[in-house]
Amino acid sequence: MDTSLSDDELLTAYAERGDQLAFRQLVDRHKDRVYSFILGMVHDAELASDLFQDTFLRVIDVMQRRRGSYKPQGRFLGWVLMIARNVVYDHKRSRKKWKDVSDGDDGFWDRLPDDAESADEALHLRESSQWLSACINNLPPAQREVVLLRQDAELTFREIAEITDVSINTALGRMRYALINLRKMIDQQSSSYAPGAARSQNVQLTAVTHV
Amino acid sequence: MSSASNNMDKKLLLIQHLYGEREDAEELKELLKDPAWRAEYQALRDVKRKLENRALRRPVTAPESAVDKIIASARPKLTPIWKLPTSRSKQFAVLGGVGAVAACLLVVFLLPERQTQESPVISDEVLDPVELVKWDDTQERIEMQQTLNVVRQRTRPDLWDESAVMRLDSLAGNLNSSPSGVESASTLPQ
């Protein structure tokens, strides 16, 4: 299979001729970004794997139902991420576990290691990707979604606006507030590990939720 | 009001510049002349870098077992016979095709079987040529030839000329005397 083929060419090869190799190549090309987005939304590797499968099963279902008449409508990754988003929201609705950052009993600080670390360890933790992932997890859902779609899935803001069914200005505004909130979390965490600062202060962070 | 919306536009422009979705370098330079905007841009850029480093440090990969299941599910499915097209004409077309295939299979599989049942057993035994022509009995052949000649004579075309009509008239004359009242052939309208 020619690796230089575009997404649309691969998609057409699968939709029109049932070319499985073309579909395999499409999945391999985008699987990590789709999985990363789902994992960022649900924070559970096992559940993310299930929802990842559900996403592509829906893709296959749509492709097979439209066999012979499928016309590529745009960027494949954007389309798959829109399906992934629907799968995630369907799951959250079915479980009734969709919690806003403000009413969650499993708060941001609860997810962080509770032991009092040394300053070096704290610094390492702060710098670690795990810590930043926890920060992203603590963002309001709409902002978290934009961060994951822009940073991990590498969609443009126009694509994010289409997927989330908002204007491009709203998508940009959410990203801005998300970055501002992440900046606050980083600063607050830094100050809590500053010499003399009490770790047990249990600082509560109020994320900006204007958008 | 217009100033507030202008400020908001500038904030959104900063985000677009930050993520490289706006190519106008002059516009960015103009924005960054304002210390407040410059400070915000730098702060947001730091956070963006941290997010990018996070992704580089901890790349997320999709589990291969899930990918394999997806690929296995992507096999093209054959449409079962009970899921025929909804259109009646298409249904007839599909059923006709299935019927034709079934008929061909019957011909292919059953006909050779019948032929093998009826075909004579061929043995290696060499038959005597005299035995082969034994059925051609002379007396039988003469009788068959005689029968054939009689049939030919009776069906000669000249048997249906005037003499034949006269013979029919005489036959009809005999019938006229009968109470059935059958008219002779000569009195029939020409």
A152 to chain B: which residues are within 8 Å by CB? Answer: 55, 60
CA–CA separation, B146 and B87 (whole Å): 69
For B51, the closest of A52, A151, A180 (CB atoms) is A151
Rounded to an integer, the average pLDDT of A155-184 is 94
**What digits encode the pLDDT tens for the residues B8-60?**
788 899 999 999 998 888 899 988 999 999 999 999 999 999 888 877 766 78
Q: Select the more confidently predicted residue: B30 or B141.
A: B30
A40, with CB counted inside 10 A (0-12, 13-18, 19+), is: buried
Lowest mean pLDDT among A79-83, A154-158, A198-202: A198-202
3-state secondary structure of B84: coil
Give the model's confidence band at B97: pLDDT under 50 very low, under 70 low, under 90 confident, else very high. confident
Please say if the pLDDT value at position A163 is more than 60. Answer: yes
Q: Which residues contact A192 (CB under 8 A, 6 or more apart)?
A: A199, A201, A203
Interchain CB contact of B83 with A (< 8 Å): no
Does A179 contact chain B (CB < 8 Å)? Answer: yes
Answer with the residue of higher pLDDT: B155 or A35.
A35
Task: Give B106→chain A minimum CA distance, Å.
Answer: 32
Can you tell me the distance from the alpha carbon of B142 to that of B94, in angstroms, rounded to the nearest whole number?
Answer: 62
CB A136 within 8 A of CB A149: no
pLDDT of A62 strictly over 80: yes
Higher-confidence position of A77 and B81: A77
User: Is the separation of the CB atoms in A1 and A25 below 8 Å?
Assistant: yes
* pLDDT score for B74: 82
**Lookup: tokens for B128:** 């005597």
Q: What is the pLDDT of residue A161?
A: 95
pLDDT (0 to 100) of residue A112: 45
Number of residues that make up chain A: 211
Contacting B residues, span 14-53, partner chain A, CB-CB under 8 Å = 14-16, 19, 21, 43-44, 46-48, 50-53
Residue of A nearest to B20 (CA): A156
Coil/strand/helix, residue A19: coil
pLDDT band at B168 (very low <50, low <70, confident <90, very high): low
Mean pLDDT of chain B: 73
- Inform me whether the C-beta atom of residue B115 falls under 8 Å from chain A C-beta atoms: no
Give yes or no for residue B187 having a pLDDT over 70: no
- The closest of B72, B76, B65 to A31, measured between CA atoms, is B65
- CA B46 from chain center: how many Å? 65
A35 and B61 within 8 Å at the Cβ level: the answer is: yes
**pLDDT recorded at residue A4:** 79
For residue B18, give the chain A residue with the closest CA: A176
CB pairs under 8 A between A and B: 104
Query: What's the pTM?
Result: 0.58
